[in-house]
Structure 1
């Protein structure tokens, strides 16, 4: 299977992965043949991309680092928590705890974690899907740093609740489809303090988790907020969440900004690694991140196009690919698979939409 932008989807294509609503119900099941009616429905849901099964992606399996059902339950939970807080109901910490425990258990049972994270979220569900992704990515870093199980759960709580203060920000600012005005930016910055004020009322939430959520917009060079802390003045949880929050935000479509590809987001994290982010933690993160996710179409320096079918753990910029177009741009009649780790004269130039 492979990922296709919704504007490139045509009738007759086969859906490669189940599509869920934010309530956790299956909207369209894997294997269904897409019709114009289904495509229009997906467009109306502001769905940007879907997985499809076709000849060029034959036999390519795309696995997330956590079970899809676990992800859906976590998104449902944070969605409900945010809805409750907007109407001044109490935070359902037990539900959050159950969701994080499930994520931690799955990641601890996965010995060789490589992140191949492409979430089929719509623009409208960005906030809570983002919270789940940040939790998953943060726990991956924590595991790589040798955190014990209890510390991983505290980190997961901080990460999934890092944006909880946005429930106190007006919707017209949160969902504004263009750049925020200076005054609106200042209001938005209050979400970290608002979040801390919510979390401090719950004794079950550790001080480490609360502070991690409060400081996740601080930056190593002191340019962040709310306090302008520098370096080690910023808690370790917050330094982890700063990286994963940025990565997922950059690689996600939002109401005012289109996503960038994982390789470009990685370039940014590396370039800013000694200014905004803890460079050592950035390196840990990148050791578990696929630069070119499985199912991605890439252009090679040979001018051929290929689809990524697997990744090499220790050389993430040199995956195994399947050639699908020749140098003239024509689809090939026979597929050839190349391990770029063994063909050092062939390089990936860019990710492309097919």
Structure 2
């Protein structure tokens, strides 16, 4: 079994964890989990799509190592990140005698990871958690760093906890089963890392976009490894988003608002974030923080990956503006923006004129 390992060292965790990246890891998930979990009982949280594709493989891998497996299968989609499915999970765990010495495995995309992570964080005040992400977006972003949550009608991820996993297992091979739309959505988060941290990475993504869409394992493996390295180093420095970790929200202020005003039914998360990154780049340029023409370069790399650059469903800019204030980063009724000084250099800014924000939101129509 060939894989690469990235260590995540969280000061507040007595036992730190590894991100394991490779191909064919799903068949070996049982042994990789056995390295970090000495109990027998596991609840695998997954969705109907992932279970149909890989459920039997995962079950066989876990049972081969002697684990007793209980599955909790939820419907795919953002609507499953709800209080209803959270409490249904608790019910299954109680009925099957789960205790503090047992484990939750999040086996799926970002929705599964968030819901299962919050289940693990809150059941009996916290039990073991392993993340096995199956979408590009969850592999490069949501499975790493310990953010877990469910949604509230007023906004995305308003109810949650920071809860680090015991291990993250990333099988690059599962990406072959992703629809192109899901792959594009995941690339939005990858591009985000380059835009805020590393212009050379943006160049690599620009030069290799065709390889991504033929699922080249070498290119995808490098992209995932590089993204996880960025995420891990930031999380180590700022686990609970009190400072520099906020940079990872580039594009998310507008993106989360778009998801909320469309009822979490229209946009993939990465699609909404892509529009948000265009808006944040234009805002940076409008404030003369970014050189003229640089916002167009941001739009260009997103366009290469087939991501949307403007509102797709007739959103009302005024409603988008109002919904911005449900964002978790609002302080004293002031929005926190992640903007760009250059491509590859993001920074945090709080005092942005409301009129300029509204102009940018209007321009995304």
TM (norm. structure 1) is: 0.30
Higher helix share: 2
Pick 1 or 2: higher relative contact order, CA cutoff 8 A, min separation 6: 2
More strand by share: 2
Q: TM-score, normalised by structure 2?
A: 0.29
